[in-house]
Amino acid sequence: MEVKRHFSWRSLVTIAALCLFHVTAGETTLGQTPQMGWNSWNTFKAIINESVIHETARLFGTLGLQKAGYNYVVIDDGWANHSRTADGYLQANVTGFPSGIKALADKVHAQGLKLGIYSDSGILTCDFKPGSWGYEERDAQTFASWGVDYLKYDNCGGFEGMTEASQVRFGTMKNALELSGRKIFYSVCEWGFQFPWRWGGGIGHSYRISGDITASFTNETGCACKTAYCLNTGYAGCSVLTIINKMREISQYGVQGHWLDMDMLEIGVANMTLYQQQTHFTFWSALKSPLIIGADLSRLSNESLAILTNKNIIALNQDSLGKPVSYVETLSEDGLWQVWAGNIESGYVVLLLNEKSYPQTISLQLSNLGLGTPRKIVELWSEKTLKTNAFNGTLQPYQTLVFKIDTA
């Protein structure tokens, strides 16, 4: 009986706060475009230390990533000590972070960058470090005092422990961050469980729509759910193409300031072809997903770096309208090729994806989308201008062409 009373109280408080959020959300400037940065997890997992963070921040400048718009350096799971202090505060593990998080934040800020950190909405993190459930206000105040600018908030401890509904767990931290005295970007990592596109916009500046991405373009490992609408399945090992396909059902839920997060980028991590990497970056950009690099920047190839810093594709992601593209079923052939389209500030953009492992010749009338009369059409990866309003040509395996269509 006491447990039921506890659930009802926290649930009612959170629901009331979320209602207030919709009134006050416009007051913040955070998240007006999808966040861009780097996260340690894809490469380093929980074996992370301050030297890696220092080197990554340095490489933001030397590789041109900072100039391209990437500004968050995010420490994922593994930074914390296995226990809190005697007073119940989170603390960094001294082996990996002997200088502490505040000193690290100061160094990152001195380079004109922002520092992100990680916690979990349950009792423990995925790496079995202390989670923030029951300590939300204390932890938010701690992060603020350290100068943290970004919180990635995971689902392992809460999901496994079944402590509360996702909306309650993640909403409680949202409220705590707002009381912390510092503007902290809130990245909800809830794996798409319980359909967060129906409620996540009232909580996070961004929120995950799927299980963890894997370093594979097409092959699946543990991603049992191939669509967006699954319960209790598919929380890990989802390929790039599967996550793209999930977005066919839910891209319309993406709104400015509350972005649908397709997970971190595997460009420079996985053994993908040039066209697979371009497709990966194209869809994350055009669907207004956060652009969070997961690669070891010290080992990034020139090919991968050129993709990650392509100003034309990044401009789609950071477009001021903030509208994700939508799947155009009438012009697509399921399992063969996909057509996506959507408005941008100067007109609209059309994506044409060859979904097969072999070349395909495809014809597409670009003026048949009802989004405006084309005045100029440029394919962004090649930067070539089309002479007509139609495309007829061959796409290589898993290649995506991106047509920017000016109407003004």
Question: Which amino acids are annotated catalytic?
Answer: 154, 212
Structure tokens at 75: 């420490």
313: left (phi over 0), alpha (psi -120 to 50) or beta: alpha
CA nearest 364: which of 346, 386, 347? 386
Binning the chain into helix, strand and coil, the percentages to the nearest 5 are: 35, 20, 45
Grouping H, G, I as helix, E, B as strand and the rest as coil, residue 227 is coil
Name the amino acid, one letter, at 116: G
Asked if residue 287 lies in contact with residue 260, where contact means CB atoms within 8 angstroms, the answer is yes
Asked if residue 122 lies in contact with residue 169, where contact means CB atoms within 8 angstroms, the answer is yes
User: Do β-strands 114-120 and 150-154 pair in parallel, antiparallel, or remain unpaired?
Assistant: parallel
Grouping H, G, I as helix, E, B as strand and the rest as coil, residue 238 is strand
C-alpha span between 145 and 102 (Å, rounded): 8
Asked if residue 203 lies in contact with residue 231, where contact means CB atoms within 8 angstroms, the answer is no
**In the chain, how many H helices and how many E strands?**
12, 16
Question: Read out DSSP for 328-367?
Answer: -GGG-BTTTEEEEEEEETTEEEEEEEE-SSS-EEEEEEGG
The strand pairing partners of 341, in sequence order, are 326, 350
C-alpha span between 393 and 382 (Å, rounded): 14
- Where do runs of H (alpha helix) occur along 148-250? 156-161, 166-178, 240-250
The strand pairing partners of 150, in sequence order, are 116, 185
The strand pairing partners of 352, in sequence order, are 339, 401
Asked if residue 322 lies in contact with residue 32, where contact means CB atoms within 8 angstroms, the answer is yes
- Where do runs of H (alpha helix) occur along 147-239? 156-161, 166-178
